[in-house]
Amino acid sequence: MKNPGISRKDFLRNSVLGAAGMAIGSGFLNSAQASAFETNTAINSTTGKNYTLKNVKLETGFEYENGEVLHTKTGLFCIEISDGKIKSVLPNKPNSEAIDAKGLLMLPAFRDMHIHLDKTFYDDWQAVKRRTGGVKGMIALEQQILPEMLQTSTQKAEKLIGLLQSHGTSFARGHVNIEPTSKLQSLKNLQTALENKKKTFGTELVAFPQHGVFYTDSVPYLKEAAKMDIDFIGGLDPFSIDGAIEKTIDFTVQLALDNKKGIDIHLHESGDSGLKTVQYLIDKVNENPNLKGKTFLSHCFVLGKLEKAKQEEIAEKLAAAQVGIVSTIPFGGLIMPIPTLMQRGVTVMTGNDSIIDHWNTFGTGSVLQKANLAAQLYGQVTEFNLSRMLKLATAGSIPLDDKGIQQWPKAGDAADLVLIDASCSAEAVSRMSPVRSLIHNGNIVY
Ligand SMILES: [Zn+2]
């Protein structure tokens, strides 16, 4: 195994439902575990379309001392799962025949909201080479290396999905290269991988003009992709790559409107052009309210460069237009104002972006690690604040609301969940607790 952190042996040993499944003699979990990791074998159709978990720990409220959250209260329950949904949350019956979750904490499955599943070397190690020419230099590099990467991109995507699953992620927003070098091949190769993984992994895709919309003529390919099974129209630094903010954003917005898609634009530009792009996009969304709640800026580094007052002003505008920010939680040279964005009501999500590729090799595959990073970076150390940071790993859904009222799980919620070796969300975030089991759409992945 090239990656000892997620060897198949560990994976199976850690899988609590695997052990339970074998104990009750159903036999299906063996194949399910294997398929989650190594093969594309669809999970046996008997895999628990209807089953019950017992001894499931759920968060039930906060315990206060002098007005501060001191502890998170929990209890053990039975969870009935039926046809991909949580059918009911029932009092625990420890002696029942149900599958034993052994007191592990149940949380919503994790969601990686910015990743490039179509372009990865994983799990072959290859460090990033010295760069020249900024993003345009990287475009020139991609024009050279993509034809070869496309030869194996289906298998690589499946391996990468296996890594994400091993960290409790069962859903990703994948940006897929659409440009004149790959044409639509990157998308088609990824769609094959996703089809093979569809029982255990969900996605939404962004048609991503990595080589610029107009800098290389990606327009015909984007128009074609927009008619295919994708969810968002992407973008890349309109000013520095295409040389025009309005022309590129207008094209992107129109393509999204014509095809009823969302928008998710990579914006690395800081300074004037970055800020103008943010403001122009907000204006366009306000003019076209259909795009509210469906429009995102990935990275959006310019927000980290603004004065505090300006950050707050832009955060309010983003919140009002329901434009979300997707951040990899950068640190070092640039710190994003993520707490300010959250406080102002902006949807903030995170993702690994790169796992091992020619851009970056630091993605672990865990979004719980991103939530932990954010908690450290922004000093979110209390029980309450740590528990709020879990939103970054789940793309929003957490068990308790700010008042400690249980809001997840509820009957009818998707059966997308993890069982994690932690006493509460705050501990899970702070300790990056190990995920012992993943269930996607009611299917036991491991
Ligand atoms: Zn990206």
Per residue in 51-80, pLDDT (tens digit) is 999 999 999 999 999 999 999 999 999 999
Model confidence at 228, pLDDT cuts 50, 70, 90, reads very high
Short-list 255, 258, 278, CA closest to 267? 278
Reply yes or no on whether the pLDDT at 169 is more than 70: yes
- Residue 99 tokens, joined: 């599958």
Q: Which is higher by pLDDT, 220 or 28? A: 220
CA of 30 to the centre of ligand 1 (A): 35
**Which pLDDT value is given to residue 39?**
35
Say what the pLDDT of residue 148 is.
Answer: 97
What CA–CA distance (Å, rounded) separates 86 from 409?
A: 8
Residues facing 233 on adjacent strands: 207, 263
Cα of 238 vs centre of ligand 1, distance in Å, is 15
Q: How far is the CA of 326 from the centre of ligand 1 (A)?
A: 10
Q: Is the pLDDT of residue 2 over 60?
A: no
State the Cα–Cα distance between residues 109 and 285, nearest whole angstrom: 30
Over residues 131-158, the pLDDT tens digits come to 889 899 999 999 999 999 999 999 999 9
- Report CA(222)–ligand 1 centroid distance (Å): 17
Cα–Cα distance measured from residue 300 to residue 327, given in angstroms and rounded to the nearest whole number: 8
| Of residues 27 and 315, more confidently modeled | 315
Containing 84, the helix (H) or strand (E) segment is none
Annotate 206-274 with DSSP letters as a single string.
EEE-TTTTTTTT-HHHHHHHHTSS--EEEEE-IIIIIS-HHHHHHHHHHHHHHTT-EEEEEE---HHHH
Mean of the per-residue pLDDT values for the chain? Answer: 91
For residue range 340-371, what is the model confidence (pLDDT) as tens digits?
Answer: 999 999 999 999 999 999 999 999 999 999 99
Between the CA of 45 and the centroid of ligand 1 the distance, in Å, is 35
Q: How confident is the model at residue 17 (pLDDT cuts 50, 70, 90)?
A: confident
Please say whether the beta carbons of 145 and 358 come within 8 A. Answer: yes
pLDDT for res 183: 97
- What's the average model confidence in pLDDT over 298-327? 98
CA of 156 to the centre of ligand 1 (A): 17
Of the candidates 286, 205, 212, 289, the residue with the CA atom closest to the CA atom of residue 252: 212
- pLDDT attached to residue 14: 58
Largest CA distance in the chain: 67
Between the CA of 27 and the centroid of ligand 1 the distance, in Å, is 40
Residue 49, pLDDT score: 78
Q: Distance of alpha carbon 389 from its chain centroid, rounded?
A: 14
Query: What is the 210 CA–ligand 1 centroid distance (Å)?
Result: 9
The pLDDT, as a whole number, for residue 131 is 87
> Residues 111-121: what's their mean pLDDT?
98
Tally of CB atoms within 10 A around 195: 10
Q: Which pLDDT value is given to residue 18?
A: 58
